[in-house]
């Protein structure tokens, strides 16, 4: 089994065996980050550009570290400090970057579908690092790796995703990813943050977190993306937190061996209580650790084959 793709744009596109190849490759890469010399020469001479049109700490750093541990040259561009601020279009920026002959562009963009558009008119590989409220494939892959590592499997698990589903590309990618690998996904959100037709993606829709988590194996909490809300979607943060935030009382309804995920950045005391974020069953920092391995695997699988 090999990955025969130019780009990683969505989890929706990926077949089950492609996801499994990426996960097993990432598992092998974890060990490289534990070495004293945390670097392998595999992608020497390859150039990777991180083109970020939105704020990011974790994802951008993770892609950059992954590229550097593979010996590729990583260049970071953020929209606020580049010619994008002078009014250049995505296409023009990409064409200009392509003229400098990179091997891969990692794109984060506020518009859903931007990476697909980009991949269509440049020859190098494109990795979607999050596009609008569409998908965030590397996040779903690292979530899958984290759960698989902790619980030993994905198939047959019950996953509950709670929060701002309508604005969450993480939720979308994870619904595709977990269901493709045989898990049962439920989503929980206030009606104002639950997109209509979400059930057609193959997940259960629930209204109360207490009902959803009773038989869950994994709870994934999402951040409230206030910056994407054009109109207020709930009365107060306090009310949201009381009804949909994960605290000790609600967690009492869950199984004893539950594990908690959160894609970060976390808002302590809003969607997740501080003590739960720091508890041993919280895998938040394992997710970050696995993120580097997953991104190394993506670079290896996209750039490790021949250029022809």
Binding site for other proteins (CB under 8 A): 2-4, 24-25, 28-29, 31-32, 35-37, 39-43, 46, 300-301, 303-308
Active site residue 307: no
In the complex, minimum distance from the CB of residue 46 to other proteins, in angstroms, rounded to a whole number: 8
In the complex, minimum distance from the CB of residue 58 to other proteins, in angstroms, rounded to a whole number: 24
User: Pick the catalytic residue: 46, 60, 136, 250?
Assistant: 136
User: Pick the catalytic residue: 5, 30, 58, 253?
Assistant: 58
User: Pick the catalytic residue: 59, 134, 169, 295?
Assistant: 59
Active site residue 256: no
Contact 211, 160 (CB under 8 A): no
User: 27 by DSSP, 3-state: which?
Assistant: helix
Residue among 156 and 305 whose Cβ is closer to other proteins: 305
- Distance, in Å, from the CA atom of 59 to the CA atom of 287, rounded to the nearest integer, reads 11
Residue among 28 and 111 whose Cβ is closer to other proteins: 28
Contact 25, 300 (CB under 8 A): yes
Active site residue 108: yes
User: Pick the catalytic residue: 46, 69, 108, 169?
Assistant: 108
Residue among 36 and 257 whose Cβ is closer to other proteins: 36
- Distance, in Å, from the CA atom of 277 to the CA atom of 270, rounded to the nearest integer, reads 11
User: 218 by DSSP, 3-state: which?
Assistant: strand
Contact 48, 101 (CB under 8 A): no
Residue among 165 and 301 whose Cβ is closer to other proteins: 301
Active site residue 295: no
- Distance, in Å, from the CA atom of 105 to the CA atom of 116, rounded to the nearest integer, reads 12
Active site residue 42: no
Half-sphere exposure (CA, 13 Å, Cβ side) for 3? 26
Question: Mind telling me the catalytic residues?
Answer: 58-59, 86, 108, 136
């Amino acid at each position: 089994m090999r990955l025969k793709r130019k780009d990683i744009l969505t989890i929706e596109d990926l077949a089950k065996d492609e996801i499994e190849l990426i996960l097993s490759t990432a598992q092998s890469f974890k060990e490289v980050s534990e070495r004293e010399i945390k670097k392998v020469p595999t992608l020497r001479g390859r150039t990777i550009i991180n083109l970020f049109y939105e704020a990011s700490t974790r994802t951008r750093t993770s892609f950059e570290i992954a590229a550097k541990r593979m010996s590729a040259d990583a260049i970071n561009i953020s929209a606020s400090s580049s010619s994008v601020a002078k009014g250049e279009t995505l296409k023009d920026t990409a064409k200009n970057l392509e003229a400098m002959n990179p091997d891969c562009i990692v794109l984060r963009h506020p518009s859903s579908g931007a990476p697909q558009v980009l991949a269509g008119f440049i020859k190098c590989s494109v990795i979607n690092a999050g596009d609008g409220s569409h998908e965030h494939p590397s996040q779903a892959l690292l979530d899958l790796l984290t759960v698989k590592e902790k619980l030993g499997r994905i198939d047959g698990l019950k996953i509950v995703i709670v929060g701002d589903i309508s604005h969450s590309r993480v939720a979308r990618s994870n619904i595709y990813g977990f269901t493709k690998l045989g898990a049962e996904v439920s989503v929980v959100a206030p009606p104002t943050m639950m997109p209509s037709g979400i059930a057609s993606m193959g997940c259960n829709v629930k209204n109360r977190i207490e009902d959803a988590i009773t038989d869950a194996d994994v709870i994934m909490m999402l951040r409230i993306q206030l910056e994407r809300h054009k109109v207020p979607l709930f009365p107060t943060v306090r009310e949201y937190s009381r009804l949909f935030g994960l605290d000790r009382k609600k967690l009492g309804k869950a199984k004893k061996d539950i594990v908690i995920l959160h894609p970060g950045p976390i808002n302590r005391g809003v969607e997740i209580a501080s003590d739960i974020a720091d508890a041993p069953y919280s895998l938040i920092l394992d997710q970050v650790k696995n993120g580097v391995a997953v991104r190394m695997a993506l670079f290896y699988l996209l750039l490790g084959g021949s250029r022809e």
